[in-house]
Amino acid sequence: MAESTSTSTSGVAAKLLKIVVFGATGRTGKEVVKQALEKGHHVTAVVRTPEKVDIQHENLTVVQGDACDVESFASALEGKDAVLSSLGVYANVFNPTTFYTTTFNEIAQGMRKNKVTRLVTVTSWCTRPGPNNSWFVEWILKPFFLNGVIKNMAEMEEMLESSDPDLLNYTIVRPCGLTLGEKTGNYKVEEGQCNTGTTSRITCADVADFMLKTLESNEYDRKGFAIAGL
């Protein structure tokens, strides 16, 4: 990890990192970039269309690349401390996808090549069976609307969990329904597939907030966490 530090408004020294963000033009990815820069991190955004990046900052580097093609972005990972991915795609029961496993394979290749081990990636509530899973997600959304996406997310999660701990230190972030809005900090994080005692919504800004927090403590290492607004 990078050795430089800054002092937060609370007076606590925070380590400054060199971060690569995939999905930086999406709703959550934009927030990851914005908040990471606010914390003083150096950010490299890997995007297919650089013109869509509407943030300008001295600590932001925009690299044109395709997450499905490691050769297009591998050099951007050199010397970096962590990779944060909020990549997503639309698919349904009639239109399955391999987007998540494909992009993970490519990103993991680039990370290994550059000896980067820290990865934070977004999936969803209820990717796999769990004791607290939402009935609405399990019986309505997954079968009729999200099966293609959820199935491939679950396959990616299994790949993460079976990875070599010496080569990959991951955190899986499983949000519920994403909404636009300000960062509130008013959310609940639980290890597992689904939250209890929460709403079924969370702002993309709050998801980004948690993604960045996972870089500040080893309590989130090689685990998956559900996150939802209160």
pLDDT value of residue 145: 53
Token pair listed for 104: 């993970």
Q: In the CATH hierarchy, which top-level class contains the domain 18-229?
A: alpha beta
In 10 A of CB 186, how many CB atoms? 11
- Residue pair 228/199 in contact by the 8 Å Cβ criterion: yes
Pick the range with the lowest mean pLDDT from 82-91, 130-139, 163-172. 130-139
In the predicted model, what is the mean pLDDT of residues 141-147?
Answer: 59
Model confidence at 148, pLDDT cuts 50, 70, 90, reads confident
Task: Flag whether pLDDT at 56 surpasses 70.
Answer: yes
User: Mind listing the pLDDT tens digit for each residue in 87-96?
Assistant: 998 766 667 8
∠22-24-28 over CA atoms, to 5°? 105
User: Mind listing the pLDDT tens digit for each residue in 158-204?
Assistant: 999 999 999 999 999 999 989 999 999 999 999 998 888 999 899 99
pLDDT value of residue 75: 98
Token pair listed for 169: 């230190």
pTM of the entire predicted model: 0.89
Please tell me which residue, 6 or 208, carries the higher pLDDT value: 208
Cα 90–chain centre separation: 17
User: E strands of 71-156, at which residues?
Assistant: 82-85, 118-122
